[in-house]
Amino acid sequence: MSERDESLSAERISEAEHAVMEALWEKSPQTAAEVCDNVCDRRGWSIPTVKTLLSRLVAKGALATEPQGRRFLYTPTIERAAYVGTESRRLVDRLFGGRAAPLFAHLAESEALSAEDIAEIERLLAEMKK
C-alpha cells in the first residue's frame, strides 16, 4: 500500500496547495524560496510550510522538479486552464446539476455580475454566434 499511481495526475489539489500552484502558474520555474516570497506573507506561512506543500504537489504529480545545483526548480505539470476547468465543472455539477445557465442566473441575481462582466459576456456571446 505504498506505490500509488504516479503518472495519472488526477490527484486532488487542496486549497493551500492551490495557492502554491498559482504562484508557479504566474511564473515558473521557481525555487522554494521564491515561491515563499510570493505567497508566505499573503497566507501567513513560513518556509517549511511551503516546502511541505511543494513536496506534496510533486508527490501528486502536479509539479515537476529540475535540480539546479543543490536546490530544485519547480514547474507545474498541469495547466492552469485544465485545473480551472475541472474545478469549475465540479462546482457546476455539484450545485447546478451540471447546467451553467443556473450558475449564471445565480450570479446575476446575487449582484455578483458587474456592469463590465455583463458587457464582456455579451461580447462573448456575440462572438460565439459568428
Partner DNA sequence: CTCCGACGATTACGTTTGTAAACTGAATGC
Partner DNA sequence: GCATTCAGTTTACAAACGTAATCGTCGGAG
- Give residues with Cβ within 8 angstroms of 36, minimum separation 6: 45, 47, 50
Q: Which stretch binds a second copy (CB under 8 A): 34-42, 45-53, 64-72, 102-110?
A: 102-110
**Binding positions for a second copy, 62-101, rule CB under 8 A:** 81, 84-85, 87-89, 91-92, 94-96, 99-101
122 forms part of the interface with a second copy (CB under 8 A):
yes
Closest CA to 29 of 1, 66, 61: 66
The half-sphere exposure of 35 on its side-chain side, counting CA atoms within 13 A, is 32
Q: How far apart are alpha carbons 118 and 78 in whole angstroms?
A: 30
Q: Mask of contacts with a second copy, 29-68, x by CB under 8 A?
A: ----------------------------------------
Q: Are 91 and 54 in contact (CB under 8 A)?
A: no
Give which of DNA, a second copy, none residue 32 binds (C-beta under 5 to 8 Å, depending on kind).
Answer: DNA
Q: At what angle do helices 15-26 and 47-59 cross, to 10 degrees?
A: 90
Residues of this chain that interact with a second copy (CB under 8 A) are 15, 18, 81, 84-85, 87-89, 91-92, 94-96, 99-101, 103-108, 110, 112-114, 116-118, 120-122, 124-125, 128
